[in-house]
Amino acid sequence: MTDPTSSVSHLDLEESKHTFLDANELVINMGPQHPATHGVLRVILRLDGEKVMGLECVIGYLHRGVEKIAEHRTYTMFNPYVDRMDYVAAVSNGLGYCEAVEKLLNIEAPPRANYIRVILTELNRLASHQLWLGTHALDIGAMTPLFYTFRDREEILKIFEKYCGARLTTHAFRIGGCQYETYEGFEKDVKKFLTFVAPKIDEYEELLTTNRIWVERTKNVGTISAKDCIALGVTGPVLRASGVKWDLRKAQPYANYKLFDFDIPIGQNGDTYDRYLVRMAEMRQSLRIIQQAVDGIPEGPIMAKVSKVIKPPVGEIYHSIEAPKGELGYYIVSDGSTQPYRIRVRPPSFVNLQALELMCRGQLVADVIAVIGTLDIVLGEVDR
């Protein structure tokens, strides 16, 4: 009775041992429902033991056809849709879109509107970086930063809510300027927030920057060189952490960024730790910009003269801004009607995600989590 089973199990053991020794590669699936992928991203990993030999991203789970929708909406009607792409930095999306259409119409937002735009956009950059830090640290195993950053991000969302009634998908700007004048006490709120948040950023750094576990998990993890970044079209903090001093706010200033004094923080090694340092420094630079903007905000109109029906002349335009994740571009083709003939969104997350394969090759499985976090992708923007 025991004979056949024992012989079978023996045979099985032989078999499995044999295949185990031979199997250099194991293909495993991560996601699409995985807490560390920050949305619905599916990664197919090819592993040798714990080492990543290669991977493939499967995306599109959140595809809503934003570019198709744009062709069937007027320019004004499409404005709220852009907020739904990178929904943690909706204000930046709106700024890029409004400016692109303004360029196509050959108009400019008035100075006061530009100041309001800069303040809100930089607040949103800070909120986006805070969300990144909290979730990234949580993925790697540090739970406390999540509570700290979400607590402080709340203050930014409160300002948004008081300004335009929405917290996340704000639809804060209109083509030609801003729809809303700032509320009573807006400047006071922003200044109060600045003094509130500056020591909080030090607090985040105290938790992590010299934390041994954090350093071990991030140093020399997901390294990417400047050359590879450029070849892969990677932009934003990832590019800067690899040592390229390039920020569209300086390189090709839009809104009124050239009026403000700020630095572009860069890293050297292009690893996860440097990207962390770059984003931390960027938060402080954002505070500097907001401080200058809120001090110098002029009186005046908040909307340029824009006809009710927006009908840009026949032509095409490409306009891009430095979104928290990188270069966010809009390529708009107008056929002279009230609806765009074609809108192409150049999403930073989509292009940056392409670098995941290169950054993870040769690393451990656990590092894939760290690298997805450090790329700071938003799947709503990857899939559109």
**Does 312 engage in binding with other proteins (CB under 8 A)?**
yes
Distance set, CA 283 to CA 119, 221, 257 (Å):
13, 22, 16
Is the Cβ of residue 9 or residue 252 nearer to other proteins in the bound state?
252
> Cβ of residue 350: shortest distance to other proteins, in angstroms?
7
Give the footprint of other proteins on residues 101-140 (CB under 8 A): 103-104, 106
**Does 76 engage in binding with other proteins (CB under 8 A)?**
no
The b/e string for 257-285 (b: 16+ C-beta within 10 A; e otherwise) is beebebebbbbebbbbbbbbbbbbbbbbb
The closest of 37, 90, 38, 47 to 363, measured between CA atoms, is: 47
The closest of 207, 203, 201, 191 to 294, measured between CA atoms, is: 191
**Does 63 engage in binding with other proteins (CB under 8 A)?**
yes
> Cβ of residue 69: shortest distance to other proteins, in angstroms?
7
- CA of residue 44 relative to chain centroid, distance: 23
Give the footprint of other proteins on residues 319-338 (CB under 8 A): 320, 327, 329, 331, 333-337
Is the Cβ of residue 71 or residue 181 nearer to other proteins in the bound state?
71
For other proteins, the binding residue among 68, 151, 188, 192 (CB under 8 A) is 68
Is the Cβ of residue 198 or residue 230 nearer to other proteins in the bound state?
230
> Cβ of residue 160: shortest distance to other proteins, in angstroms?
30
Half-sphere exposure of 317 (CA within 13 A, CB side): 20
- Tell me, what DSSP letter sits at residue 30? E
Is the Cβ of residue 138 or residue 356 nearer to other proteins in the bound state?
356
Largest interatomic CA distance in the chain: 94
Q: Is 222 left (phi over 0), alpha (psi -120 to 50) or beta?
A: left
The number of residues that bind other proteins (CB under 8 A) is 51
Kind and range of the H or E run holding 134:
helix 111-140
State how far the Cα of 351 lies from the Cα of 319, in Å rounded to an integer. 17
**Does 71 engage in binding with other proteins (CB under 8 A)?**
yes
Give the footprint of other proteins on residues 365-384 (CB under 8 A): 383-384
Q: Is 306 left (phi over 0), alpha (psi -120 to 50) or beta?
A: beta
Segment interacting with other proteins, rule: CB under 8 A, options 11-19, 216-224, 244-252, 269-277? 244-252
Binding mask 260-299 for other proteins (x = CB under 8 A): ----------------------------------------
Q: Which residues bind other proteins (CB under 8 A)?
A: 59-60, 63, 65, 67-69, 71-72, 103-104, 106, 228, 230-234, 244, 246, 251-252, 307, 309, 311-318, 320, 327, 329, 331, 333-337, 339, 341-342, 344, 346, 350-351, 354, 383-384
